[in-house]
């Protein structure tokens, strides 16, 4: 048996660079290897795609954590409209008294604020 480690490579689908994939599993197809290569490549396009994907994952996780599945659909739709400037700002109030505000700030960052109104008040 050969002790030589087979070197796997994939091709970045943006810049076409060959990328070494030391930890890649043996049963990966060429397509999978190319995906991994694109994932590891440091060219601007690949990095930009990674940032976009990470942003989307963070956003999905946040929405899933704070909203019911039914509301999540609406919130995702609202986010899309805000990001495409069809809406400047969206606010709503949930049955559990949480206030939701979604907007783009001055630096074009998407902002989502969920505030629970917990004013301590007494009238006797
Ligand atoms: Zn690349």
- pLDDT tens for the chain, residues 1 to 124: 444 556 789 999 999 999 999 877 788 899 999 999 999 999 999 999 999 999 999 999 999 999 999 999 999 999 999 999 999 999 999 998 899 999 999 999 999 999 987 777 787 7
Predicted confidence at residue 22, as pLDDT, reads 84
- The CA 17 to ligand 1 mean position distance, Å, reads 6
Residues bordering ligand 1, an ion, CB closer than 5 Å: 12, 14-15, 41, 43, 46
Going from N- to C-terminal start, the domains of the chain cover 1-66, 67-124
Prediction pTM value: 0.73
The token pair that represents 93 in the structure block: 């109030």
- The CA 39 to ligand 1 mean position distance, Å, reads 9
Distance between CA atoms of 85 and 88, rounded to whole angstroms? 6
Predicted confidence at residue 7, as pLDDT, reads 77
Distance between CA atoms of 41 and 34, rounded to whole angstroms? 10
């Amino acid at each position: 048996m050969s002790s030589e480690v087979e070197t796997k490579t994939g091709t970045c689908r943006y810049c076409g660079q060959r990328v070494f994939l030391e930890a890649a599993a043996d049963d990966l197809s060429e397509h999978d290897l190319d995906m991994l290569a694109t994932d590891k490549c440091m060219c601007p396009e690949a990095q930009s795609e990674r940032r976009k994907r990470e942003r989307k994952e963070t956003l999905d996780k946040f929405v899933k954590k704070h909203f019911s599945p039914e509301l999540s659909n609406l919130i995702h739709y609202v986010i899309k409209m805000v990001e495409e400037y069809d809406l400047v700002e969206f606010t709503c109030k949930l049955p559990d008294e949480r206030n939701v505000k979604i907007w783009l700030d001055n630096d074009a960052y998407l902002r989502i604020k969920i505030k629970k109104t917990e004013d301590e008040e007494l009238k006797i």
